[in-house]
Amino acid sequence: MIFSDIKKYFASRKVASLQDLSFHFNVEPDAIRGMLEQWIHKGKMYRLPYEESCQGCCGCGYNSEKMEFYQWID
């Protein structure tokens, strides 16, 4: 997986959870998080605050990977 793969993934979704990204790319969440930080540093995406990413109880059990969302900035 390379950085352009993440960009392509967000081109169709705009917002994704860390868990979704980890599953899609078959990469550990910490590795994905590091790549996302590079995009954040470049000003291309940001991490959504918890309050904006939570849509109510979905039975996630407060799994941080399920509640960690990122949004691409066009």
11-50 pLDDT tens trace: 999 899 999 999 999 999 999 999 999 999 999 999 998 6
Q: pLDDT at position 69, please?
A: 92
- How many whole angstroms separate alpha carbon 18 and alpha carbon 33? 7
Q: What is the pTM for the complete model shown? A: 0.76
Helix, strand, or coil (residue 17): strand
Amino acid of residue 2 = I
Domains recognised in the chain with CATH numbers:
3-72 (1.10.10)
